[in-house]
Structure 1
Amino acid sequence: MGLKKIKKLLAILLSTIFFTSAITSVSAATFTDVPENHPYKDAVEFSRAKGFVAGTGVSTFSPDAKVSRAQFAFIWCRSLNIIEDNHPYSDITKLRNYYDSSVVILRGLGILSGTSTTRFSPSGYLTREQLALITMKTYNLGVADDDAYKAYADSAAISDWAQDGVSACINAKVLEGLYDGESFKPGEHVTRAELCKLIYNISVPAYTITIAPLEGGTVEALPSKARPGTVITLTVAPEAGKQLKAGSLKYNGTAVTGNTFIMPAENVTITAEFEDKPTVLESISVTTPPAKTTYTAGEALDLAGMVVTANYSNNTNNVITEYTTVPDAGSTLDTQGTVTVTVSFTVGDVTKTTTFTVQVNPAG
């Protein structure tokens, strides 16, 4: 059997092992520098629980620390369930460094190359575009869309040799929640937390979000397919005259607080109920002014003939008489010039006002 066929079969075997790997329960003890709100917390804890990574201290992980090429080879082998321990044979020279076996294995599989024909540069740092290419090689990812990498605003900065790798990772959706921003930043160094997130994305299946049939409005979920721990944002759009019934927005029967929830390790169905909006007073207007709008100082305000209309949220309106005015009807108008009369009307705890003016001339 040729080397090419052996590598292909091994890639299939690795993918099967990796994708069928069950989610391991996470130890109660967590890293103090990876708080609950850290975007990659689930991924870090998953990778730690699986034995792929360890902390940099008793309770620290250093999530933002850069990953060296040696560290990457060691972690990558572990994530692939490849035994990277040194050999046990006494009649063969032992490898010296913790990463030697990992580097030799990955190079033999055609997954990892050196920085030149004679050097590996173990202390050098791994870049994002290098990681994308390695991921494509490891899992034999196809490139469904050659131009997928161009979705990034800085696509021109992605090296020619890495373009297929980036496109393949986008097509396989393994960069979701990782490098799915506007820019890819291909030359930026990979961090420990980012590597955990990629491993997590490949290991853990993405679950679907289904919107149940609704009446009176719509609900949209973004993203509509996600891995556990992903923040799902719901956009609720009631139809005209409708509103979301309080407490009715749920995922798998669990009430949603606000408009987001954390994706569980299962498929999700979104349910919601819409109800008629209560009729609310929106405005009032003087649709017919009083018969008398010009006065002589000392005369009383006369509102006879005035018609006031109330307008409601359900696009209805009606003439009202239970309004109040300032100044009141019958009040003596002593101030000369233009006088503003404020009309108020209250329904429940909602009060609306409008105004009109009258002219007060000097007496005599």
Structure 2
Amino acid sequence: MPTWTSVSKLSVVIESGFEACDIYANGQNRIAVTVSVRPTDEKGGIIDVDPGHLLSRLWLIDYVDQSTLSWKSGSTWSYTDSANQFTATPGSSREKAEVSSAERGVQQVTFYVYCGSGVTNAKSIGVLVKTDTGDSFTSSLNGTFHDKIVLTPLSATVHRRGDVSWEYARTTTALGGITEWVTTDAWNYYLSLNSAENHFVTFKVWNCFSQDGYKGFFSSHIPSDNHRANFYGGYVWSQEPHASAYYDPDDGHSLGQVVDFPDGNLWSDYARIYDRSYPERYLCFTWVHSTTGGDGWHIPNGPLTTWNEWFTLEIAAWDQYGNRSEFWVDGSDIIGGLNLYDSRP
């Protein structure tokens, strides 16, 4: 069996085919980088190296001083062999490089580069390979090969209230219009990033009920007027992936349980949610106003022990580049609808 002793090609390029791009210095944004290697034996013949073994013999390095980048570190310039949900290239890319994946004998490995918040200077990155005979070859300033990529760090972006869309529209409920005892009106609110070039990809919320039948419920007001006939509720639908977490195959769309009163009123309903395109890009909320006859709504019921119970709902949203932003909805201000604010003061 021939021995891997050398390489006749060693190059590195951003997976998009460009040699330079921006990167957000937030520890989350990852840039996919493709390393191309053509291994050869002692006679210069092309050989095939096991992909896992090839991966273990490659390192990303500083193009100028040949120091090795950190492997799976959380600081400075680092790289790994796995993508995350924030693997995307921001900003404008410059001169396009030639990608040689179709060349005879060329094997490729993909790495993912990221950097921490303290990084401010651009980084020129090359590659080091060590053969089975212990010989080293680099693509670097003083190496045998000279391909490189250049990544320019951008400060992490925090999106504010003025950067997001907070639209609302009426939605339907399963039972709201077909009973003589309870009438339910519901509106969906949609939190999304107001940008043609960027979008949110994941969300997390704090301060809401988590019991079955009440998941995402964060505000309940039953005023004393009209014999406690009016119920106002606020819900957030934060399970992910949004496209399937609430999907009901019997109805063919996403549903969220609202107005759950299992005791006394014996009533519950389901609102149609995530009813817009690209549900993975926005967070859906529902505001409900329900009225009931008889002696009004009953308390205690489920987790509700008083006529007014609410939380200050806190929300974290990450865009496709891993930039985190924070917002909140005041559960005490529920009767007129849902109001979104910048991160809680």
- What is the TM-score when the length of structure 1 is the normalising length? 0.25
- What is the TM-score when the length of structure 2 is the normalising length? 0.26
Q: Which has the larger radius of gyration?
A: 1
Higher relative contact order (CA 8 A, sep 6+): 2
Task: Name the structure where strand makes up a greater proportion of residues.
Answer: 2
